[in-house]
Amino acid sequence: MLDIERCYRAVAARDPRFDGVFITAVRTTGIYCRPSCPATTPKRRNVEFFPTAAAAQQQGYRACRRCLPDAVPGSPDWNSRSDLAARAMRLIADGLVERSGVAGLATALGYSERHLTRIVTAELGAGPLALARAHRAHTARLLIETTPMSMADIAFAAGFASVRQFNDTVREVYAVTPSVLRRESSGRDPAPVAGTLSLRLPHREPFDADGLLAHFTGRALAGSESVADGVYRRTLRLPHGPAVVALRLGDHTPGHVRAELRLTEPRDLGPAVARLRRLLDLDADPVAVDELLAADPALAPSVTSTPGIRLPGAADGLEIAVKALLGQQVSVSAARTTGARLVAALGDPLPAELAGDGPDRLFPSADRLAEQVAETVGGPARRAAALAALAAAVADGTLVLDAGRDPAGLRADLQALPGVGPWTAGYVAMRLLGDPDEPLVSDLAVRRGAAALGLPSDVDGLTRHAARWRPWRSYAATHLWRAAARPAADPTVWRTA
């Protein structure tokens, strides 16, 4: 339940940290806004608060065209919570309702449609269909404002069943027609390169863009990823086809990351944006994380020198699981070399319309890895067998690697596979789900970082000390990795033991 007085204080202060956490609706105007909207603060008696834009839309409110309340970071609750509502929100953002309907969403989460709708409505003020409708409206607005596509093409690309449904929804949500939205947006952003969607991915400040860029630089797999001139480029395997993206982290603009996205199929815009947001941890609440971690005197200097640290995420579940297995007990460079060999040998080439100067192959599919990884990867036979078992489990559906997983269930499923231990399972949960509370205390680099900061470096001692970092132990582990990578330590360690 929302704390009404706390919400109103945030609105009165125009605090951008709460953008995306809740929605402010003004009864006298019939408009809903983000908390930091620059409009005159409404009187307390004239406002009500909702957990989602869909809930406000259900009550007849329309979106403010001044503050664009859908163009905000998502709530950090969807990563810190692992309950049904949070898991459903992650999958709805990934476009599962558009692809499989509410029945498919319920099946993926392991509940009946009736129970899912009841729980989600109680928690979020709107059911799965209404949440998906709000997601479609946001995707439609992005396509209207960033592409020259016809309105009919945008309607079907955004997931609407008809052009009429598209027009009605846009008018209802934004109080104008799609053509007016396009006129209002002209000149707002630089014109995109032909075939490229130019997007602004919002986040809360502070934002450690340099740390993310350094992480991707050290681990990019040649062929599917690259980093040059402050731009991280990679290929994406999306529900309806491949894509390529360039994320401009080196010339970061406060408040958002610029992304240039090329899609095979426009229907994949929503899933692509959701996966990029998880990749960069853009929905985090960095102020809350930094405040808690800085209360530990040993971590305070690191937090002060690196505010807004982020958890590097994953754009593909199979890819991050394979990277984790490859990285066991070897250096970063060795794991990277082996991964690049897999991409070169087994990755599918991009279609001609997406090919350019950057990465030109997709990370291998589960089917190809299961069949050919043993003869391609080399090295210890046990590692090859573990990779083959992992890929086979993903290929036959035994193991699901998506954002809708419960962290505990994902860890259990991974550890049931040969060659996958607690560290690997925890690392994948942290990277794939954005789990903010995975301490990784058995990681050698984490323990080295702890020793460098004067903390206990044995597993038991570090486990006890890390209890004070809840619920942000993953972010603390990232600070310890940074400490281990400073000149006094070995910066090549990926993971051991």
Give the Å distances, CA to CA, from 325 to 3, 47, 370, 423.
43, 51, 14, 10
The whole-number pLDDT of residue 487 equals 65
pLDDT at 495: 43
pLDDT at 189: 57
Q: How many Cβ atoms sit within 10 Å of the Cβ of residue 195?
A: 10
CA atoms lying within 13 Å on the CB side of residue 292: 18
Q: Kindly state the average pLDDT of the residues 336-364.
A: 94
Cβ 439 vs Cβ 469: under 8 Å: yes
CA 135 – CA 470 distance, rounded (Å): 32
Distances from the Cα of 426 to the Cα of 89, 246, 431, 438, angstroms: 22, 28, 9, 6
Task: Tell me whether the omega of the peptide bond preceding residue 471 falls within 30 degrees of 0, making it cis.
Answer: yes
Peptide bond into 422 cis (omega under 30): no
* Long-range pairs for 127-130: beta carbons < 8 A, 24 or more residues apart: 128/88, 128/92, 128/97, 128/102, 129/97, 129/102, 130/54, 130/55, 130/57, 130/58
| pLDDT digits 0-9 by tens, 263-319 | 999 999 999 999 999 999 999 999 999 999 999 999 999 999 999 999 999 999 999
251 compared with 7, residue with greater pLDDT = 7
Report the C-alpha gap between 151 and 245 in whole angstroms: 24
Helix (H) or strand (E) holding 485: none
The alpha carbon of residue 467 and the mean position of all alpha carbons in its chain are separated, in whole angstroms, by 26
pLDDT tens, residue by residue, 367-402: 999 999 999 998 889 999 999 999 999 999 999 999
Confidence band of 132 (pLDDT split at 50, 70, 90) = very high
Residue 167 and residue 178 in contact, taking contact as beta carbons nearer than 8 Å: yes
Q: Which residue has the higher pLDDT, 147 or 333?
A: 333
- pLDDT above 70 for 103: yes
Distance, in Å, from the CA atom of 233 to the CA atom of 244, rounded to the nearest integer, reads 7
pLDDT of residue 82: 84
55-59, 326-330, 396-400: segment of lowest average pLDDT? 326-330
Active-site option among 208, 435, 437, 443: 443
- Can 33 be counted among the known catalytic residues? yes
Q: At 115, give phi and psi (nearest 5°).
A: -65, -40
pLDDT of residue 193: 54
- pLDDT computed for residue 329 by the predictor: 77
The pLDDT score that the predictor gives to residue 194 is 52
Taking the C-alpha atoms of residue 410 and residue 426, their distance in angstroms, rounded to an integer, is: 9
Q: Where are the beta strands (DSSP E) in 11-85?
A: 23-26, 31-33, 47-50, 62-63
**Looking at this protein, which amino acid is placed at residue 336?**
R
pLDDT tens for each residue of 406-440: 999 999 999 999 999 999 999 999 999 999 999 89
| Cα distances (Å, whole numbers) of residue 262 to 6, 110, 242, 257 | 41, 34, 9, 16
Tokens of 23: 């929605």
Q: Where are the beta strands (DSSP E) in 167-224?
A: 197-202
Give the Å distances, CA to CA, from 490 to 113, 328, 487, 493.
51, 16, 7, 6
* 227, 214 contact by CB (below 8 A): no
In which element (H, E) is residue 460 found? helix 459-466
Rounded to 5°, the CA angle 65-71-73 comes to 145
Q: What is the pLDDT of residues 81-102, one digit of tens each?
A: 889 999 999 999 999 999 999 9
Among 33, 37, 64, 67, which one carries the catalytic annotation?
33
Quickly tell me which residue has 């307390």 as its tokens. Answer: 44
| Tokens 């929804």 sit on residue | 169
Residue 3 has pLDDT above 70, yes or no: yes
- Strand ranges (E), 413-477: none
Contact 401, 417 (CB under 8 A): no
Q: Is residue 443 among the annotated active site residues?
A: yes
Q: At what angle do helices 84-93 and 96-109 cross, to 10 degrees?
A: 150
As a whole number of angstroms, the distance between CA 129 and CA 132 comes to: 5
